[in-house]
Amino acid sequence: MPPRRVLVVLGLVLAAAACVPVPPPAAAPPAGGGGGGTPAPPSLPAAPGHGDALAAGVDMEGDPTIRNWQNPDAPDPFTFAVNPTWCDTGTGPPAPTACYYTYSTQVFPNITPVFQSTDLVTWEIAGLDGADVDTSPDGLARTSIAPWAELIGHWAPAVIERPANPPGSRFVMWYSAEKANVSGTREPHCLGVAIADSPDGDFVDSSATPAYCQEAQGGTIDASPFIDTDGTAYLTYKTDGTPSIPTRIYISQLAADGMSLVPGTERLLLETDNSSGSWEPPIIEGPTMVRSAGGLFLFYSAALWQDSSYKVGVARCDAPLGPCTRIYSTPVLASLNAMRGPGGQTPVFDTEDNIWRIVFHSWTDPPVGYSAGGKRSIHALPLYL
């Protein structure tokens, strides 16, 4: 399977001028099925797309517009809440009561674009300032290039805040990057870990090897952390797949410091549903897990990120380590009007409005696709859970 996002980076450039051993994965299901190796039951209801969702759904009648910013290219936006002081510019009052950070896939030459909001609707570029002397941040989280990774192809970063020693905050970024090409043969993408003392960066990964990689399944990408109500942290991720193995979504428990996977905890949650009539092929990816009063849910993106076919689906899980079962026969988030190919989603609780929202990227038509000069910008809609 060709790489998904390195084509994006290479396109932008043109426009501008041995993994750590881990226990073997859980036994693989037969190829072509849904979660647990069985096709999605045809009797599943269609996703309603509004407030009377049966279990989980997106308000497709809401306003996805993001306001008051430069609307840059921001693919795969992982979003999480931090202490409001990180959004306090000192120019108040009033001081912010909420603060959210979003990190996106590499947009050359920026390895990790980063954005900031106090309401999940109005966003601005955040991150560390560059060499200039102005007070406006440049949106650069300033992630190091790990010794094991290529310069381009850093995808879908996600950050978790963990206790540091001595006491304080440590921000741990999981990301995927292409392994350095030392043999002349194209290498797979694997997961790396970078750490910082601030959500703005610097995020540093000095490792000689990736943190985790499923090379036999085409590589590992799209890591996303989840902290359950008991404080246990987990990491969802997906395989890139091979001609004989479909793309799959896995989860593992994270160590207390958030920097490694707990051996023996890896579980398979879903694989691409290739059954007749499925909307998902050719791939599923971008897993994000969330628990609400309604239960434990796994959101994921599927189809082709390059065009309007990209969509978001959802499954219900019995526990973080599964099993997970699809809820609907159709996606919960799909193209609507000028918003085309939504995906790369993160469910986030909006403490100001006391509702869940889903933050995601989409093309804006016209144009759709990088070859047409398009870009995937951030949007948000109310989420029913």
Q: What is the DSSP letter of 126?
A: -
What are the phi and psi torsion angles at 299 (to 5°)? -90, 150
Nearest-10 Cα torsion for 195, 79, 141, 182: 70
- Residue-wise pLDDT tens digits, 288-326: 999 999 999 999 999 999 999 999 999 999 999 999 999
For 260, phi then psi, to 5°, come to -155, 160
Distance CA 50, CA 13 (A): 40
C-alpha 370/C-alpha 344 separation (Å) is 16
Place of tokens 């994006």: 8
Write down how long the chain is: 385
Tokens standing for residue 328 = 């609907």
- Identify the pLDDT of residue 37: 38
Say what the pLDDT of residue 19 is.
Answer: 37
State how far Cα 148 lies from the chain centre.
22
Which pLDDT score, from 0 to 100, does residue 24 have?
38
DSSP string, 245-287: B--EEEEEEBPTTSSSBPTT--EEEEE---STT-S-TT-EEEE
Q: How far is residue 234's CA from residue 317's CA, in Å, rounded to a whole number?
A: 14
What is residue 125's predicted lDDT score, i.e. its pLDDT? 80
Q: What is the DSSP string of 290-319?
A: EEETTEEEEEEEES-TTSTT-EEEEEEESS
Q: Which pLDDT score is estimated for 16?
A: 34
Predicted local distance difference test score (pLDDT) of residue 129: 61
Q: Measured between alpha carbons, how far is 169 from 100 in angstroms, rounded to an integer? A: 16
Burial 300-315 (b: 16+ CB within 10 A, else e): bbbbbbbebbbbbbbb
Both tokens assigned to 101: 């950070």
Instruction: Name the strands in the sheet holding 123-125, side by side, starting at the edge strand that comes first in the sequence.
Output: 78-82, 99-103, 114-117, 123-125
Beta carbons within 8 Å of 250's beta carbon, 6+ residues apart:
25, 26, 214, 236, 237, 238, 239, 266, 267, 268, 269
Q: Quick one: pLDDT at residue 167?
A: 65
Flag residues of the chain having pLDDT under 70. Answer: 1-42, 49-55, 65-70, 129-142, 165-168
Q: Which of 253, 222, 252, 263 is nearest to 239 (CA)?
A: 222
Kindly list the distances between the CA atom of residue 167 and the CA atoms of 179, 193, 195, 198, in Å, as whole numbers in the listed order.
34, 20, 15, 14
Task: Tell me the three state secondary structure of residue 51.
Answer: coil
